[in-house]
Chains A and B, each alone.
Chain A
Amino acid sequence: MEGTAVIAEIGAFALCLSLAMSLAQGGLGLASSKRASRAAALKAIAQCAAAASAIAFACLIASYVRSDFSVAVVANNSHTDKPLIYKIAGAWGNHEGSMLLWSLVSATFGAVLASARGGQNLGLWSKAVGVQGLVTAGALAYTLFLSNPFARLNPAPMQGAGLNPLLQDPALAAHPPMLYLGYVGMSVPFSLALAALIEGRADQAWAKALRPWTLAAWTCLTLGIAIGSYWAYYELGWGGWWFWDPVENASFMPGLAACALVHSAIVTERRGSLASWTILLAIMGFGFALLGTFLVRSGVLTSVHAFAVDPRRGIAVLILLALALGVGFALYGWRAPKLRQPAGFAAISRESLLVWNNFGLSVAAGVVLIGTLFPLIVEAAGGGLISVGPPFFNATVAPLLGLIFVLLPVGPLLTWRVGDMAAAIKRLAPAIVVGVATLFGALVMTEWRIAPAIGLAIGAWLVVGGLVYLWVRINRGEGRALAKIAALPLAVWSMSLAHIGAGVLTVGAIAETAFRSERAVALAPGQSVDFANRRITLMDIVGVDGPNYEATRARFRIDHGGDVSPLAAERRVYEASPMPTTEVGILTGLDGDLYVALGEPVRGEAAWGVRLYHNPAVQFIFGGALMMAIGGLLSLVALARRRRAP
């Protein structure tokens, strides 16, 4: 025991080492001359910083796996009865561990940036590696001094306090690392932007280096948000998938910024224009990512996500945020006007459509920011405690995104510099027809509910518009159709998939929000209720013993148009935690999900409260988000291929 008990000390030491290395990386990177030996040293230091933080993280995981309860975070968050996979996932399921993960990802990205210089300008590259080193150093210093994951407890408790059973779930093991990859992924565009400002050059080679990072960050954010939303849907038992909760907004804002950046970086790489805007967006995107960390970690806003409140930590993240944004904006104000502005473009061109995309996404991110921070502003001004509800976000974000989505299918059909709008519209005729038909069909079927009809029409327009673009690309040139399909560049497939995914998501989100129905009933075994064209019968209630919980399971029989399916919903009580949790039953059909949550017993235990939801098209939401993420991933593959083949 004594021999292996120093794992936490090794971890703490590795953390210090990584901090020292990151600071050296920052100093050397920013001070670097043009000598090749310096570049080799910088690369080695960045790799050492990443290796040291990887050792620290490995030590933390080892402490969890060994259930070493003399380490405070392990004692507070783990339990010997937990399955191994959740012991490991527990390492980042809490504040201290997640900050260590943040640092590790930042250091790793720094090492990757340092190792893959490609054709980048030496000065630009070393400045970017340097800034990334300082970002890592900030995160490591915060981890080490304000949330040390290796702090010891004396005496060590015999048993851990257990992980929150709601969090003991595969989706939630994957959700935080995915989001963190996205958040921290935004730090690399930030470093590249600052480097461009310091060096006074933001050329096409620079934008080429920027693109994969923004794409990776956006893909991870999209996937992370989708996984979190899916988890909330099936685990919380509230029947919803998005609540405009401050913590959700905290991930949504960087997501919007990353999406804008993905598009503006394309313009900068292809045409050399918008460089100055791309830089500004990269700085703001990282600001949103840090703000996300602040909102989640400080507990300043009442949210369904429960993280213990520690104002000291919140203030520290706020200082880091102010530092990053302050330095970023100051550099921008000072250096950006000196950047060379290449040739412009016409009001109707692919560039201008991408500018509209950026404008709309930025305004939407700004509106979400106002809605999220408004309670803080009002409270600081002495206006009392308030909250801004989902109606605000639905009424503001939806129309803004709708506006961009109306323009979206047109963009890819326009050429760079000067585009032909009439030709693009003519090609989009099928999408216009489907969109208008959807609009009127939905108006009639919903008895003239205008907003959801417009939303569905926009979704259909996006899907068909994406298909039209694919069709146009396939029919370009000579040859057999199959050969032309096979020859279509991966970049075309990936973009179409992402855009069609946005349409699928829109249809799902609008249909679910506008047409969902819910009902609470009390059912005794043998009783039935009719709901959403289905007959739901409670067959029986049984007790079930799980590996580390006891459950009450309600078994249902669902009759739906001649089909009979079984469905079960549970309430679980975990041994290590006093709180019961709901395990909902979901039956996916063509017209959406039937979602059944088991409540409390009523009338003694003669009957049970049951809450029924019908969520139309809800799988479109997760499916659409998945399509967008796969589109991002394929784009990355396309970029990597292009890089290898000059």
Chain B
Amino acid sequence: MRRRDQRLMMISAAGAVLVFAAALTFAGLRDSIVYFVAPSELAQKAHAGQRIRLGGLVVAGSVRRDAGGVTAFQVTDGGVSVDVRYSGILPDLFRDGQGVVAEGEWTPGQPFIAERVLAKHDERYMPREVVEALRRRGEWKGPQ
């Protein structure tokens, strides 16, 4: 094989890999983006079966645990409160009145079934999504 042909072969193989990577990236971004939704926007913004991140504050006194290990609580942004169910072990920082982000699929008319609940390692930190949710409702009192 001549050197020019070899170079051509390598460049076309590299091009094929790039196209492959680009296709994977686009398909991946289309399928695995999770939108953040505040509780009061849930009805307008989310559609049934969509995977979303729901962020806000845990309503004080709303946390109940049943015998099956499922925890029920409500998340609010100061306007609407949404019922959430979660069957995993909650993060150590999960508490009444604290910021929380719940990720899962939403079905209208039913409690939000969270597959993942994020609260932070650091008690001083508030998830950005929660800050945004509270700011949209004019409930945010922290720094801008």
Q: Would you call B69 and A581 a contact (CB within 8 A)?
A: no
Q: Given A237-B89, A389-B34, A390-B32, list of 17 further CB < 8 A pairs? A: A166-B121, A167-B121, A237-B92, A304-B121, A346-B3, A346-B6, A387-B34, A388-B32, A392-B31, A395-B28, A395-B32, A396-B24, A399-B20, A403-B17, A601-B65, A610-B69, A611-B69
A370, B34: Cα distance in complex, Å? 15
Q: Which of the residues A299, A399, A602 comes within 8 Å of B69, measured between beta carbons? A: A602
Chain B residues contacting A396 (CB-CB under 8 Å) are 21, 24-25, 28
Chain A residues contacting B17 (CB-CB under 8 Å) are 359-360, 363, 400, 403
Mark contacts of B9-21 with chain A using CB atoms, 8 A cut-off: 1 yes-contact digit, 0 otherwise: 1100010011011
For B35, give the chain A residue with the smallest CB separation: A386
Known contacts A367-B24, A521-B69, A611-B89; A384 and B122 CB within 8 A of each other: no
Q: Would you call B88 and A520 a contact (CB within 8 A)?
A: yes
Q: Would you call B121 and A305 a contact (CB within 8 A)?
A: yes
Chain A residues contacting B87 (CB-CB under 8 Å) are 520
Mark contacts of B51-94 with chain A using CB atoms, 8 A cut-off: 1 yes-contact digit, 0 otherwise: 10100000000000111111100000000000000011110110
A307, B121: Cα distance in complex, Å? 9
Mark contacts of B118-140 with chain A using CB atoms, 8 A cut-off: 1 yes-contact digit, 0 otherwise: 10111111011100100000000
Mark contacts of B30-60 with chain A using CB atoms, 8 A cut-off: 1 yes-contact digit, 0 otherwise: 0111111000000000000001010000000
Bin the interface of chain B by size. Answer: 35 or more
Known contacts A347-B1, A399-B24, A597-B89; A385 and B33 CB within 8 A of each other: no
Chain A residues contacting B53 (CB-CB under 8 Å) are 385, 387
A310-352 residues at the B interface, CB under 8 angstroms: 344, 346-347, 352
A111-170 residues at the B interface, CB under 8 angstroms: 164, 166-167
Determine which residue in A302, A360, A389, A403 has the highest number of CB atoms from chain B within 10 A of its CB, and name it.
A302
Q: Which of the residues A166, A360, A370, A602 comes within 8 Å of B92, measured between beta carbons? A: A166
Q: Would you call B6 and A347 a contact (CB within 8 A)?
A: yes
Determine which residue in B7, B21, B118, B123 has the highest number of CB atoms from chain A within 10 A of its CB, and name it.
B21
Known contacts A347-B1, A396-B28, A579-B92; A386 and B65 CB within 8 A of each other: no
Q: Would you call A386 and B88 a contact (CB within 8 A)?
A: no
A391, B69: Cα distance in complex, Å? 26
Q: Which of the residues A237, A577, A582 comes within 8 Å of B123, measured between beta carbons? A: A577
- A488 at the binding interface (Cβ < 8 Å): no
For A603, give the chain B residue with the smallest CB separation: B67
Chain B residues contacting A623 (CB-CB under 8 Å) are none
Q: How many A-B residue pairs have CB under 8 A?
A: 151
Q: Would you call A388 and B29 a contact (CB within 8 A)?
A: yes
Chain B residues contacting A300 (CB-CB under 8 Å) are 128
A387, B34: Cα distance in complex, Å? 5
- A599 at the binding interface (Cβ < 8 Å): yes
Chain A residues contacting B70 (CB-CB under 8 Å) are 520
A67, B98: Cα distance in complex, Å? 30
A residues near B (Cβ < 8 Å) are 164, 166-167, 237-238, 299-302, 304-309, 344, 346-347, 352, 355, 359-360, 363, 366-367, 370-371, 374, 384-393, 395-396, 399-400, 403, 520-522, 577-582, 597, 599-603, 607, 609-611
Can you list 8 A-B pairs with a CB-CB distance of less than 8 A?
Answer: A238-B89, A346-B6, A347-B9, A388-B33, A389-B51, A393-B28, A395-B28, A609-B69
For A519, give the chain B residue with the smallest CB separation: B69
Chain A residues contacting B68 (CB-CB under 8 Å) are 520, 522
Question: Per DSSP, are chain B's interface residues mostly helix, strand or loop, or mixed?
Answer: mixed
Determine which residue in B28, B68, B125, B132 has the highest number of CB atoms from chain A within 10 A of its CB, and name it.
B28
Q: Would you call A600 and B90 a contact (CB within 8 A)?
A: yes
Chain B residues contacting A164 (CB-CB under 8 Å) are 121-122
A577, B122: Cα distance in complex, Å? 10
A347, B10: Cα distance in complex, Å? 7
Q: Would you call B10 and A352 a contact (CB within 8 A)?
A: yes
A388, B35: Cα distance in complex, Å? 9
Chain B residues contacting A360 (CB-CB under 8 Å) are 17
Q: Which of the residues B24, B33, B89, B121 comes within 8 Å of A306, measured between beta carbons? A: B121
Q: Would you call B125 and A307 a contact (CB within 8 A)?
A: yes
A397, B18: Cα distance in complex, Å? 13
Nearest 7 CB-CB pairs, A to B? A306-B122, A385-B36, A306-B120, A520-B69, A392-B32, A391-B32, A392-B28
For A364, give the chain B residue with the smallest CB separation: B21
Q: Would you call A302 and B118 a contact (CB within 8 A)?
A: yes
Determine which residue in B7, B31, B33 has the highest number of CB atoms from chain A within 10 A of its CB, and name it.
B33
Determine which residue in B1, B9, B27, B69 has the highest number of CB atoms from chain A within 10 A of its CB, and name it.
B69
For B133, give the chain A residue with the smallest CB separation: A385
For B1, give the chain A residue with the smallest CB separation: A347
For A363, give the chain B residue with the smallest CB separation: B21
Chain A residues contacting B20 (CB-CB under 8 Å) are 399
Determine which residue in B1, B25, B51, B132 has the highest number of CB atoms from chain A within 10 A of its CB, and name it.
B25
CB distance from B37 to the nearest CB of A (A): 9
